[in-house]
């Protein structure tokens, strides 16, 4: 019974969040992590952080990335390169300037200081990001005032990204470990 209530609550939150962008320029159903957040305090970044310190595309080691722990903290990637995230992979080109837009939370239901958008395919890449964009819709729907500034706009030039299909997720540091928030977003990068 308790699991049924959790599932029902999660489904209601997801359905409500899907309507968050309907007041913007287009109706959207964002790709959202589907589980409620773990609530835990956030510690300083570990010395072995996978979150890049600099802007731009940073190659990641797939073995290191596989050591990241999946998180239940909510996150969403709403648009990639100006296109709404949906069921289809979004086409992008090597060398293109790409803007990722959405929102992110840490397990304490606050906007993290830093995170990375991660592209995972035959190779993996990270793009450093910071939250701080206004998302009162997210704070209202999740009833978490700490998410008012959980929005992000992460822009990067896709130089050095190998052509191929990539899953899009987020990583951030929490309590001395790297945690990963998966999304359903996918991109296909092609040669220019």
CATH at residue 64: 2.60.40.10
Count of structural domains, the chain: 1
pLDDT of residue 54: 84
- Mean pLDDT on 14-32: 39
- The more confident residue out of 38 and 1 is 1
Query: How far are the Cα atoms of 43, 44, 163, 183, 190 from residue 152, in angstroms, in the given order?
Result: 21, 21, 25, 15, 25
Query: Which residues, listed in sequence order, are joined to residue 66 by a DSSP beta bridge?
Result: none
pLDDT of residue 55: 83
* Spatial separation of the C-alpha atoms in residues 188 and 7, rounded to whole Å: 32
One DSSP character per residue, 42-69 reads --PPPTT--S-SSSSEEEE-HHHHTTSE
Q: Which domain holds residue 8?
A: 2-190
pLDDT tens-place string over residues 46-99 = 456 888 888 889 999 999 999 999 999 999 999 999 999 999 999 999 999 999
pLDDT of residue 142: 96
Can you read off the two tokens belonging to residue 170?
């987020």
Contacts of 78 (CB under 8 A, 6+ apart): 21, 28, 30, 31, 84, 85, 101, 102, 103
One DSSP character per residue, 85-123 reads P-SSPEEEETT-EEEEEEEE--TTSS--S-EEEEEESSS
- Mean pLDDT on 120-131: 97
């Amino acid at each position: 019974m308790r699991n049924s209530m959790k599932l029902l609550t999660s489904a209601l939150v997801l359905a409500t969040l899907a309507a968050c962008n309907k007041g913007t320029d287009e109706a959207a159903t964002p790709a959202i992590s589907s589980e409620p957040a773990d609530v835990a305090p956030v510690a300083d970044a570990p010395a072995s952080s996978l979150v890049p310190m600099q802007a731009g595309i940073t190659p990641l080691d797939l073995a290191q990335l596989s050591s990241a722990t999946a998180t239940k903290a909510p996150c969403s990637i709403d648009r990639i390169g100006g296109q709404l995230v949906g069921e289809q992979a979004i086409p992008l080109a090597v060398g293109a300037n790409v803007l990722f837009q959405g929102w992110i939370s840490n397990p304490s239901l606050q906007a993290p200081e830093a995170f990375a958008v991660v592209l995972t395919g035959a190779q993996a890449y990270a793009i450093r990001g910071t939250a701080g964009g206004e998302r009162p819709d997210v704070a209202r729907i999740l009833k978490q005032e700490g998410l008012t500034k959980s929005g992000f706009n992460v822009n990067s030039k896709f130089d050095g990204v190998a052509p191929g299909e990539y899953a899009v997720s987020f990583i951030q540091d929490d309590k001395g470990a790297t945690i990963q928030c998966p999304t359903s977003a996918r991109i296909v990068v092609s040669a220019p």
